[in-house]
Amino acid sequence: MTSNEFPIIYDQKSGNALWIDLRQLNLRYQIPVGKIGKFFEGLKQDKVLATKCPKCEEIYFPPQDDCPKCKISGLEWIEMPEEGELLSYSVINVKPPSFSHYPDYVVGIAKMKNGVNVLAWIKSKDLKIGMKVKLKVVKREPEGYLTYELGD
């Protein structure tokens, strides 16, 4: 393979062939959040909220306003439990461009006390499947916005 035939370079450290796409993708999007605005208000109060269907009692996280099972809207708001158990995690080395300014980070899935699985960044030094984690509100820097993460 030569550079004239394919956009491939070879990593100097590993010798691995890397495809370098010459196209640039910039993606900006808007997501309507009016029906779940209470979720963001909850973060301001240091609470992570979910929604629960009053008919089938299914809990939705991230929250949504419509139950796909019962076909009803206007679900109830509940606070997510703080305690959970780590089911899986992955260290992110290759990041999307919008996260490239962060050092490598970890995302994981935890089963919370109410049975709901939560996907989030994890802040912990020693990660082990089955370990106890806590769901908490944090301020993500350098952007300065509120979000949630799992930690010790």
Please indicate, yes or no, whether residues 60 and 87 belong to a single structural domain of this protein: no
User: Is residue 73 located within the same domain as residue 85?
Assistant: no
For residues 85 and 132, membership in a common domain is answered with yes
CA dihedral (125, 132, 118, 35) positive or negative: negative
Find all residues with CB under 8 Å of 63, minimum gap 6, and list them.
Answer: 36, 38, 39, 49, 50, 51, 75, 77
CA distance linking residue 136 with residue 52, whole number of Å = 20
128 domain residue, yes or no: yes
**34 is a domain residue:** yes
- Could you read off the pLDDT of 8-52 as tens digits, one per residue? 888 898 989 988 887 777 777 788 888 999 999 999 999 999 999
Please give the Cα distance from 61 to 146 (Å, whole number): 17
If one counts the domains in the chain, the total is 2
- Helix H, strand E, coil C: the string for 55-115 is CCCCEECCCCCEECCCCEECCEEEECCCEEEEEEEEEECCCCHHHCCCCCEEEEEEEECCC
Domain extent for 107:
81-151
- CATH number assigned to the domain comprising residue 134: 2.40.50.840
| Contact between residue 81 and residue 72 where contact means Cβ atoms under 8 Å apart | no
Read off the pTM: 0.79
Over residues 42-98, the pLDDT tens digits come to 999 999 999 999 999 999 999 999 999 999 999 999 999 999 999 999 999 999 888
Residue 106 shares a structural domain with residue 75: no
Say whether both 52 and 110 belong to one domain: no
